[in-house]
Structure 1
Amino acid sequence: MDGVMEIITGREGRRRWSTADKLRIVAETQEPGVAIRAVAARHDICESLLFTWRRQVREGVLRAASDMAMFMPVQMIGVAPTESMPSNSAPHSVAPMRSVPTSGLIEIELGNGRHVRVGSDVNLGALRRVLAALRE
């Protein structure tokens, strides 16, 4: 009896997905009427991995690079004069002077004019959620 036998071994080994690929696949699951199982099968990934990525998007852990933190200019307020800066000159500033925050406070100025002050012991997850809400 001649026949062909196909051996199905399951999913292949560990693959590396770029953030853009993960976000694209998660976006597919958010279309109306789309089954998560079908999206997972189409991309040959486990459903549990897809659910993990969806949770990470909801929590703000997985997001596009343009939404990630970036360096912003920092301005020192109330700087004491140094040898390189004469006492009669003031530091250059672009924003109006505000009251100096107490020690341990961090002030974050968002592009839309909103300000957030947090202590040095702030929970990073909570701060991430607050900043995401304020950007909207």
Structure 2
Amino acid sequence: MAIATYSLVALDCPDPPALAEFYASVLGGEVKQYDDDWYDLYAPGGHRISFQRAPGHRPPDWPNADSNSQQLHLDFDVPDIDAAQAQVLALGATPLDLDDEGGTRGFRVYADPAGHPFCLCKD
């Protein structure tokens, strides 16, 4: 029997409303403000991502886990990875690893505007 029920993933960041809007543009859904330091994205499918103000936030140094681990990352399935890439870059994502294996790997790695890694994965 399960001990707990999944609730959300919370991301530390310097600007919660901006990061919540970035992910709302990527995933859809509705952003709700809890207070000045906490915003929630209620994404389609019942998933919730929260964004918590962390004034001293230091983005992960992907992939250099020796100096600063990646802490977590999010994976998003997409039907057209090239189209999705163009869209997330236009929203302010930074490319970290665009699959130099000729597209055989099936995913590409980016950083959101606060520096958290996320992957676009071939659906």
TM-score (norm 1): 0.18
Q: Which structure ranks higher in relative contact order (CA pairs < 8 Å, sequence separation ≥ 6)?
A: 2
Structure (1/2) with the larger helix percentage: 1
Structure (1/2) with the larger strand percentage: 2
TM-score (norm 2): 0.19
Structure 1 or 2, whichever has the larger Rg, is: 1
